[in-house]
């Protein structure tokens, strides 16, 4: 065992009636070197569930935000002042949902955010500790990803969610790569993690895939995961039920495929 423990503090899916959950995403990531919160969801579910699961989030080293959408960041309101938070600088930008026509960015203006928390912005990759790397701005190189985005900017142009990123955890069996919403593309995210860590082996990919339909992007993502010999997949949040079924049908013979649920713990 690698002594790495990942607990789903919030996801859209939940089968445990004792736990809270909402549309959003939050993970507690524990390695021998660090304890981090990866995203905080849109409410206090992550706090309540940590308490019910007897997990302390008081002693985390930092929060990593995958991007600045409300369903990943509104939970910031339930963090104590001075908490260390790491993210891409565009995470704090103003944005509005195409669907609801409402603001869907982080719950603070830049000044209030910087006053309340101990913030670190980085476009470049950052090694949080020896074995956890914040991936920074993801190079968007594939021709089948990053076609549709859920938000617009103030001038009504597409918000390409350039802040969308993830983390990679180095293990002796390969990388564990975690995405929040996958707006940068799962394949682009994997390529970035491989490049930064100079590692080609991928033990697991975990998070939101932002895949809704069985379309070209979903099919090519499956091919990419096979080609890259990814050993374990954990599908969360913005991965539709039909895409989860498709992934299981196409990959389960060669790869462990699981659908994430609130309260689930994965030990590596």
Pick one of 91, 181, 203, 244: the residue that binds Fe ion (CB under 5 A): 181
Cβ neighbors of 98 (< 8 A, separation 6 or more) are: 149, 150, 151, 152
Q: How many CB atoms lie within 10 A of CB 112?
A: 10
- Give 31 or 192: the residue with its C-beta nearer to Fe ion: 192
Shortest distance in whole angstroms from residue 95 CB to Fe ion:
10
Q: Which stretch binds Fe ion (CB under 5 A): 39-47, 55-63, 64-72, 103-111?
A: 64-72
> In whole angstroms, what is the distance from residue 43 CA to residue 239 CA?
20
Instruction: Tell me the β-bridge partners of 266.
Output: 6
Query: Minimal distance in Å, beta carbon 68 to Fe ion?
Result: 8
Nearest approach, Cβ of residue 9 and Fe ion (Å): 17
40 binds Fe ion, rule: CB under 5 A: no
Q: Which is nearer to Fe ion, 95 or 250 (CB)?
A: 95
Instruction: Sketch the per residue contact string, 68 through 107, with Fe ion: x for CB under 5 A, - otherwise.
Output: -x--------------------------------------
Q: How many Cβ atoms are within 10 Å of 15's Cβ, its own excluded?
A: 10
Q: How many CB atoms lie within 10 A of CB 176?
A: 27
Please count the residues of this chain forming the interface with Fe ion, following the rule CB under 5 A.
2
Q: Which is nearer to Fe ion, 31 or 217 (CB)?
A: 217
- Binding string, 114-143, against Fe ion, x = CB under 5 A? ------------------------------
- When the beta carbons of 69 and 250 are compared against Fe ion, the nearer one is 69
Neighbours of 182 (CB within 10 A): 29
- Number of residue whose CB is nearest Fe ion: 181
Task: Specify burial of residue 251 (Cβ count, 10 A radius: 0-12, 13-18, 19+).
Answer: middle
CB of 222 to Fe ion, least distance (A): 21
End-to-end CA distance of the chain: 6
Which range of residues in 6-14, 180-188, 239-247, 250-258 is near Fe ion by CB under 5 A?
Answer: 180-188
Minimum separation from the CB atom of position 93 to Fe ion (A): 13
Q: How far is the CB of 246 from Fe ion (least distance, A)?
A: 21
Nearest to 197 by CA among 177, 226, 221: 177
Q: What is the side-by-side strand order in the sheet with 84-87?
A: 118-121, 84-87, 62-64, 35-38, 26-30, 5-10, 265-267
Q: What mask, x for binding Fe ion by CB under 5 A, covers residues 139 to 178?
A: ----------------------------------------
Sign of the Cα torsion 204, 30, 189, 9 reads positive
DSSP-derived 3-state class of residue 180: coil
Residue 108 or 250: the one with the smaller Cβ distance to Fe ion is: 108
Residue ranges in contact with Fe ion by CB under 5 A: 69, 181
């Amino acid at each position: 065992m690698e002594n790495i423990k990942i607990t789903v503090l919030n996801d859209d899916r939940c089968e445990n009636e004792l736990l809270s959950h909402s549309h959003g995403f939050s993970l507690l990531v524990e390695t021998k070197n660090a304890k981090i919160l990866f995203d905080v969801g849109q409410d206090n579910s992550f706090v309540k569930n940590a308490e019910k699961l007897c997990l302390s989030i008081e002693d985390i080293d930092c929060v990593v935000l995958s991007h600045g959408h409300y369903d990943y960041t509104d939970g910031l309101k339930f963090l104590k002042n001075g908490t260390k938070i790491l993210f891409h600088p565009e995470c704090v930008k103003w944005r509005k949902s195409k669907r609801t026509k409402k603001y869907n960015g982080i719950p603070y203006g830049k000044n209030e955010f910087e006053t309340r928390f101990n913030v670190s912005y980085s476009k470049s990759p950052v090694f949080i500790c020896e074995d956890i790397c914040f991936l920074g701005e993801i190079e968007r190189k594939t021709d089948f990803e990053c076609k549709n985005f859920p938000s617009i900017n103030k001038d009504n142009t597409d918000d390409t969610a350039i802040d969308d990123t993830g983390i990679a955890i180095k293990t002796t069996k390969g990388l564990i790569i975690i995405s929040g919403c996958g707006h940068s593309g799962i394949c682009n995210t994997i390529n970035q993690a491989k490049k930064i860590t100079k590692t080609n082996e991928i033990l697991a990919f975990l998070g939101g895939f932002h895949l809704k339909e069985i379309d070209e992007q979903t099919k090519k993502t499956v091919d990419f995961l096979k080609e890259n010999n990814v050993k374990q997949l954990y599908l969360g949040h913005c991965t539709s039920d039909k895409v989860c079924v498709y992934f299981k049908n196409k990959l389960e013979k060669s790869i462990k495929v699981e659908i994430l649920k609130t309260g689930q713990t994965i030990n590596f």
